[in-house]
A and B are shown apart, each in its own frame.
Chain A
Amino acid sequence: MSFEPKILGIACNWCTYTGADLAGTTRLQYPQNLRVVRVMCSSRINPSFIFKAFQLGADGVLVGGCHPGDCHYNTGNLYARRRLAVTKKILEFSGMEPGRFRVEWISASEGNKFAEVVREFTEEIRNLGPQTKFKIS
């Protein structure tokens, strides 16, 4: 059986999640491998969510937030940018393939970008193969 990646998406309510909606309403095609969780802001994301997702078997984690400067709460994504950068470095130093975690800024009007990012990321994870390092069996 061919490998179908399981990808966790964590999207901010105001931009990326709305962007995903737009992708849907404009009938854009993108892979079904992404399961999206909506949060109110990218700064609400506890880094442990990402570690936990990998432990529970996610092959990749995609975080989406508003473009810097566009945060609904003015500065949330600016904090998130620093925090998630650290998460990325920690994952990398622990031995996880860096490509499995990605942060993208996608606005509510960027349905196209959302679909494009999901397509690209899914392909990348497909090439990386199943994530086994963190997964608890």
Chain B
Amino acid sequence: MLKKTTVQKLSDLAAGLMEKGALIAPVREEAGHNFREISDPAAVDLDFYNTLLSPKSVFFPHTEDFIRYKTGASIAEAVCVEPDIRPTVLFGVRPCDVKSFEIMDIHFTGTGKVDPYWAKRREAATIFGYAFDPNTPADPADFYSTLGIGAADPEGSDVFMIRKDQDLLLQAVSPKGEKLLSELPSLSDASADDQKYFDGTVAAGRTFKTRFTCVEAEPIAKKFEDLFHNAAFWEKVSEACLSCGACTFVCPTCYCFDICDETLFSQGTRRRVWDSCMFTDFTLEASGHNPRTKVYQRLRQKISHKYSYHIRKYGPISCVGCGRCTRNCPVNIDIFSIVNEAMKA
């Protein structure tokens, strides 16, 4: 079922979706577009290349409260914070970011232990994927095609959207998406021409090339295992690295967090807060020992985790080539250039 609307009528669509639940969509902000919960349907803006921050925060917020307690009081008085789970529409997610949810699912639900916060939010969400335009070149930092992700892959979305000039074509991908689309009065039926355009774009997206050629996971995983003890290599590639957390915080597949107790006078909150393997104190042990004190050790961990350990443990590369880490690195370090260099080393 292919439906359509126009970009001019986007706010009608947004208003319709807001009746179904919370709408989280890209809005224009000072530093770029970001996914935010929408209160004004006119704020939804699809004129973006990709969002500054990844959409992972929709399912895995930067800060999430678990328990509230009073210091000095009995543990029996501590209360669990019930997560705020509502039907949600996540609107305008690029195909590489949709792919990232699948990778994150492995960690939060796929290994036998289920993180209820992630799982419930994920279940309550309907994802509207949004194709890159295969007729304009990709951002120089992107490399999703290298990892086998197309510019217009509908897989993983519930509804997939492709822009055709001033029209927005919406294709239901899952039964959940189908049901939702049929309930939106602002949409009209698309023509056979539109269907042809849609299918053509999906096909064009699969042959669309970002920089770098396709890679296979297995040889990379092996290479990084071999390189682990090659400190000279890692020192060389990490020489520019500042060891800040910008790359990990904008990354759609970084999932490390810290459990913090934050107190204000006697009111305590146990919460989960994003953490970054690039921080010195990430591996600091209670004894004072720190197994990763050097920048190269931390960068090695980050890259090997995504391109080696992850493949060995779970199968896929833990990277979707969205290019955010590269775009936001203060010193322009490019993760895939390092992978390339490693393969040559």
Contact = CB atoms under 8 A, between A and B. Distances in A.
* Chain B associates with chain A: yes
Interface of A: 56, 136
A43 to B, nearest CB: 29
A136 B265 CA distance: 11
Main secondary structure of the interface of A (DSSP, over half): loop
A131 to B, nearest CB: 16
A58 to B, nearest CB: 13
B264 interface: yes
Interface string B226-270: 000000000000000000000000000000000000001100000
Contacts of A56: 264-265
Contacts of B264: 56, 136
Nearest to B265: A56
Contacts of B265: 56
B234 to A, nearest CB: 36
Contacts of A136: 264
A49 to B, nearest CB: 17
Nearest to A57: B265
3 contacts: A56-B264, A56-B265, A136-B264
A63 B328 CA distance: 42
A111 B253 CA distance: 63
A56 B265 CA distance: 8
A136 B262 CA distance: 12
Nearest to A136: B264
A135 to B, nearest CB: 10
A4 B264 CA distance: 21
A56 B267 CA distance: 13
A56 to B, nearest CB: 8
B57 to A, nearest CB: 22
A103 to B, nearest CB: 27
A56 B264 CA distance: 8
A74 B105 CA distance: 63
A136 B264 CA distance: 8
A56 B266 CA distance: 12
A137 to B, nearest CB: 8
A41 to B, nearest CB: 28
A14 B264 CA distance: 32
Interface string B257-285: 00000001100000000000000000000
Interface in B31-72: none
A82 B228 CA distance: 50
A123 to B, nearest CB: 27
Nearest to B264: A136
Interface in B288-338: none
A136 B269 CA distance: 14
Q: Which 3 A-B pairs have the closest CB atoms?
A: A136-B264, A56-B265, A56-B264
Nearest to A55: B264
A124 to B, nearest CB: 26
A108 to B, nearest CB: 34
A111 B265 CA distance: 33
Interface in B209-230: none
A40 B264 CA distance: 27
Nearest to A137: B264
